[in-house]
Amino acid sequence: MPVRRELSEPRRGYLDLEGTIMIRILIAIAVLAAFLALIMTRPGGNRMSGETMPADAASPAPAHLQTATFGAGCFWCVEAIFQSLKGVHSVVSGYAGGTVDNPTYRQVCSGTTGHAEVAQIKFDPKVISYDELLTVFWHTHDPTTPNRQGADTGTQYRSVIFYENEEQKHIAEGSKKKTDASGLWSSPIVTEISPLPRFYVAEDYHQNYYRNNPNEGYCSFVIAPKMAKLRKEFKEKLK
């Protein structure tokens, strides 16, 4: 009996150790599964132009619509402004002009990818022209400050017009020259005018940001004054 007791006690300890290890393995597997599920469902995954769009652009765009792509600082501001105009069918926030495929917001904010935060606008040229969109563009951000809009600093906040074709290029260059000569801004306009590269749709939580978060701090203190200026200067063009 004593021998039997001596053999059974180590065996019991072994089983306890084995059970503890198994429990830890199961816990680790559960944590990993939860982490992977979070990654798969988080608002992230960028999309290239032409793929699934956010709610603002969910309905099919009529064939006669044209596209304008502008960068004027934080894309939350640009989106809110152009969503308010008559003739604008949809506005999608995204990234363009960089060297990294499918960039994330964190990567773009680092200033290392070369992308600008932009808004891609689908508009009806029968209601509002590309030149009229440009007029709003010049009036609702400061195109004289390189890589900066207010407190937002970095190449991702640069003033930029990405044109779709030679006609847009011609209109944009003429509009820039005309605005520069008008004295609207006391300093020279430094806005970049470049052909549209690949456009990446930003993460879902960036879409319709002002509409969804009107009382958020940035919206209240930065976007709201821009919207007030828009209503004052372009009342007749608003929806």
User: Which residue numbers are catalytic?
Assistant: 74
* CB count in 10 Å sphere of residue 25: 10
Please tell me the number of Cα atoms within 13 Å of 141 on its side-chain side.
35
State the Cα–Cα distance between residues 187 and 12, nearest whole angstrom. Answer: 83
Element (H, E) at 178: helix 166-182
* Separation CA 206–CA 93 (nearest Å): 7
* Burial class of residue 49 (count of CB atoms within 10 Å of its CB; 0-12, 13-18, 19+): middle
Nearest 10 degrees: Cα torsion 202, 105, 198, 188: 100
